[in-house]
Amino acid sequence: MILSDIMALDIETGNYSWEIGGWDKTASFEPTVVATWDGSTGNVYCNKALNIDATVKDLHPRTLGEDLQKHIDSGGKILGHNIKGFDLPVLRDALDCWTAGDLLGKSSSVIDTKNLVSKAAVKVGKVNTSLNELVKHTFDGSKLMSSEDAPVAWRNGLFDDVAKYCLSDAQLTYDLYKYGQEHGIIKSRNMESGAVVEIEVEW
C-alpha cells in the first residue's frame, strides 16, 4: 500500500552543530542534500553532479519550496523524523525556503515521527527514539551510514553516498510510518531495561 498523501523529507548538512555553537543556530547550518520520497518516487535536491537512482534537482529555495507547496496544495502532508525540530527550521533559516517556515506554522500539514513516538512511548518507559533504533527493531531496517559520518563524507567528496543516504533515510521514515499505520505498533529499545518493547501508535 502506498500512502499517496504522504511525502517523507530528510536533509543533510555539511557541518556539525558543535562547529556553529549548538543545534539552535539553524541559520548557520549548511544544507547539502534534501531528499523526498512518496512511496514510489524519489527526488534529491543537490547542487553537485550526482549519479543516483532518483530525480535530481537544484537545491534552491524556490525549486524545493514549489514542490513542497504543490504537495500540500493537493491535500498532502510532509513527513519527517525530527522534521519540526531540525529539518524544517534549517531549510527555513539556512536555505531561506519560505515554504519550510510556512509549514512550521501548519501543524496539520506536518507529521513528525520522532515527536509521535516520544508521546506514544510514555506507557512503556523511556525508549530510544532515533530513526536507526526504530527501524532496526520494527522491521529489521538499517541506515546506510551514521548521521555523524555524513558531513565528513561530504567533505571528502562522496556526494553520491551522502545523497543516497539522505534518500534512504526519507524512505525509512516513510516505511516506519507506514508500518505503524498498518500494524498499530512500532518497536524500539527501552533505555533503562535494554529490552525491545512494542509501542502502540495511532497515526
pLDDT in tens, 18-57: 999 999 999 999 999 999 999 999 999 999 999 999 999 9
CATH, residue 137: 3.30.420.10
SS3 labels along 8-75:
EEEEEECCCHHHHCCCCCHHHCCEEEEEEECCCCEEEEECCCCCCCCEEECCCHHHHHHHHHHHHHCC
Residue 188 has pLDDT above 70, yes or no: yes
Residue 2 has pLDDT above 70, yes or no: no
Q: How many domains does the structure of the chain reveal?
A: 1
Residue 1 lies in a domain: no
Residue 73 lies in a domain: yes
Structural domain of residue 28, as residue ranges?
6-200
pTM for the complete prediction? 0.95
Query: What pLDDT sits at residue 22?
Result: 97
pLDDT tens digits, 89-103: 999 999 999 999 999
